[in-house]
Chains A and B, each alone.
Chain A
Amino acid sequence: MLKIDRLSVFYGERQILHDIQLEVHSGEIVALIGPNGAGKSTLIRSVSGVIPIRDGRIFVDEKNVTALSTMERARHISVVPQAVSMPPAFTVWETVLLGRTPYLNFLGQTSAKDEAMARQALEQADVLHLIEKRMDEISGGEQQRVLLARTLAQDTPILLMDEPTTHLDLSHQIDLLKLITKHAREKNLTVLIALHDLNLAAMFADRIAIVQNGLLCVAGTPQETLTSEIIHSVYQVPVHILSHPQTGAPLIIPGIGE
């Protein structure tokens, strides 16, 4: 379980996040949505420890991780980044093995156990067949799955993701999110995922948290949060809400004004 307790983040004098309060339970997927610049990325980055926090604490299963060293923290929280500007000369295998870093000595020597876990992660993310390819030889969708595999190899209870679907086409978006949901359920992972696409968020998330101007304004099920009033006030766009013919999840369609 991930608990973000009264988190505030500043860039210099400018306050980016105000008193964020959010709990994500084990086995639950929470999507973080909101307009550009609302603070989604900053929230993900500060929870992962990359940005220093001014106030507040972050708990993983009742353990305060803000007090931990970088390496210990990386055993609790891992991040699937966007697959942009990947180092081209690394192989898929070398990349995924780096996920074992929090358990290695400073020389990065891997044991048979580390290699077995990396192999398993490759299999789970469906990229085992790419093991010998270089990162610049595979597609964007494949790169994104390799990064998911690296995170699975990191073997943490908490998984954060910063818009992992942004650079993918539709089928890769759906494949990736299906893969993530499957593993979150199987391994009882806690997943917090920043997403741009409201419909994807509605389809795959158990709950949705909306960030606006650095404040967490609403959190709840897709039905509770993705109403035309809330979306209109957050995104300043009139929308119609339909219902997904297969799942019943809200479907958001922008209106064309008057």
Chain B
Amino acid sequence: MSLQNNMRRSPYLFSFLFLTLALLLSIAIGSVFISPAEIWRSLTGHGAETSFAILWKIRLPRTVLVLLTGAGLGISGASYQGLFRNPLADPYLIGVASGAALGAVIAMSIPWQYSFLGLLIVPLAAFITALLTVAVVYTIARIGHTVPTTNLILAGVAVSSFATSLTSFLMLRSTDDMRRALGWLLGGSIQNGWTSIWAILPFIAVGVGFLLASGHALNLLQFGDDQAQQLGLNVTRTRTTILIAASLVTATAVSFSGIIGFVGLVVPHLMRMWVGGDYRRLLSLSLISGATALLIADVISRVVLAPQEIPVGIVTALTGAPFFLWVLRRSKNQGYW
């Protein structure tokens, strides 16, 4: 009981604590176990050469990539939920992720000279198709001045399957190693060492920065567009900014880590149950805990069939889908949240 009270009073302390634990696990666990003491020795430059190499060339870049992806999925999921006033909204349900994947696959199917710039093309293409998807879904779902949530989700599902089919078509046509592309799509990260990190970082940083500043605006939007405007918010401009920022973050996460479902749905939901509805807290905590959740899912994906790895998207879907159904059932008699 007292632990529960402490958790409620200092959510940031506890979520950082969980994140630290997840980071340690992600760095320590793999085909070779590296103890925390050895990690410390390596990081300070006194460790054995092999563990140093594993840490810097494999474990750390992967951990950081998963951290950024999870954080991005967590905060963009929370933002979409706030934007559409529906705790069941998620980058995947409204089609943004599939749209981003389509753009990423188009960019990948073009044989760029391998370079850092070529690596930047992928998230950019994903961002453009993600925005196009949102625009199409929004236009279809809109009735007059309002966007009913049911319409939004239905349009999202339809547009999403359209984009997914196009993606599959492109992948079947490509002569490359298809299994690798499929693995990526299911949420197996592309292993590019530190290069991916530098490509992902600017996009995530800009998008996350905008979203972190949108907490107050999202709070106002929870009362509906009319009330938000009567309280002094420029609703159209705010909605557009948040939509663009969230889509940028989602697209970046998708283009480097594939389609990882349910993190953007489950994490904000758990945070809402933990700290309530204030989006200023919800956004930052979803950022931190999104990273924690995906790091743990990634560790699980490394150990269940060791030495073989399974795509992390399978782990998040296997745990996230039942959670989604539980929320759906619960919301029938308790109202959404």
Contact of A87 among B213, B223, B232, B235 (CB under 8 A): B223
Contact A81 B337 (CB under 8 A): no
Q: Which of A14-22, A90-98, A171-179, A188-196 forms part of the interface with chain B? A: A90-98
Contact A102 B215 (CB under 8 A): no
Contact A48 B230 (CB under 8 A): yes
* CB of A25 within 8 Å of the partner chain: no
Contact A87 B277 (CB under 8 A): yes
Chain A residues, Cβ within 8 Å of B224: 81, 85
Query: Closest approach, in angstroms, between the C-beta of A157 and any C-beta of chain B?
Result: 15
Q: Which of B225, B232, B235 has the most CB of A within 10 A?
A: B232
* CB of B148 within 8 Å of the partner chain: no
Chain B residues, Cβ within 8 Å of A70: 229, 232-235
* CB of A245 within 8 Å of the partner chain: no
Contact of B232 among A74, A86, A134 (CB under 8 A): A74
* CB of B239 within 8 Å of the partner chain: no
Task: Provide the bound-state CA to CA distance between A71 and B183, in Å.
Answer: 49
Query: Closest approach, in angstroms, between the C-beta of B51 and any C-beta of chain A?
Result: 44
Task: Provide the bound-state CA to CA distance between A117 and B337, in Å.
Answer: 29
Q: Which of A28-36, A104-112, A233-241, A248-256 forms part of the interface with chain B? A: A104-112
Closest Cβ neighbor of B212 among chain A residues: A107
Query: Closest approach, in angstroms, between the C-beta of A60 and any C-beta of chain B?
Result: 14
Closest Cβ neighbor of B272 among chain A residues: A89
Q: Which residues in window 255-310 of B have CB below 8 A to A?
A: 272, 276-278, 280
Q: Which residues in window 91-132 of A have CB below 8 A to B?
A: 91, 94, 98-99, 101-102, 104, 106-108
Contact B234 A71 (CB under 8 A): yes
Q: CB-CB contacts of B215-253 with A at 8 A, as 1s and 0s?
A: 111011011111101111111000000000000000000
Chain B residues, Cβ within 8 Å of A69: 234
* CB of B335 within 8 Å of the partner chain: yes
Task: Provide the bound-state CA to CA distance between A44 and B276, in Å.
Answer: 32
Contact A106 B217 (CB under 8 A): yes
Contact B277 A90 (CB under 8 A): yes
Task: Provide the bound-state CA to CA distance between A220 and B224, in Å.
Answer: 34
Contact B278 A90 (CB under 8 A): yes
Task: Provide the bound-state CA to CA distance between A85 and B85, in Å.
Answer: 11
Contact B278 A107 (CB under 8 A): no
Contact B277 A89 (CB under 8 A): yes
Task: Provide the bound-state CA to CA distance between A98 and B277, in Å.
Answer: 13
* CB of A212 within 8 Å of the partner chain: no
Chain B residues, Cβ within 8 Å of A108: 215-217, 219, 280
Task: Provide the bound-state CA to CA distance between A79 and B223, in Å.
Answer: 13
Q: Which of A77, A104, A106 has the most CB of B within 10 A?
A: A106
* CB of A154 within 8 Å of the partner chain: yes
Q: Which of A49, A70, A81, A104 has the most CB of B within 10 A?
A: A70
Chain A residues, Cβ within 8 Å of B280: 107-108
29 A-B pairs with C-beta separation under 8 A? A48-B230, A69-B234, A70-B229, A70-B234, A71-B233, A74-B230, A74-B231, A74-B232, A75-B232, A77-B230, A78-B231, A87-B222, A87-B223, A88-B277, A88-B337, A89-B276, A89-B277, A90-B276, A94-B277, A94-B278, A98-B231, A102-B232, A104-B216, A106-B213, A107-B215, A107-B216, A136-B335, A136-B337, A154-B231
The 5 closest A-B pairs by CB, nearest first: A108-B216, A89-B277, A74-B232, A87-B222, A102-B232
Known: A81-B226, A87-B337, A108-B280. 19 other contacts (CB 8 A): A45-B226, A48-B230, A70-B229, A70-B232, A70-B234, A81-B224, A81-B227, A88-B335, A88-B336, A89-B337, A90-B219, A90-B222, A90-B276, A94-B219, A98-B223, A101-B233, A104-B216, A106-B213, A108-B217
B contact set with A: CB distance below 8 Å: 85, 213, 215-217, 219-220, 222-227, 229-235, 272, 276-278, 280, 335-337
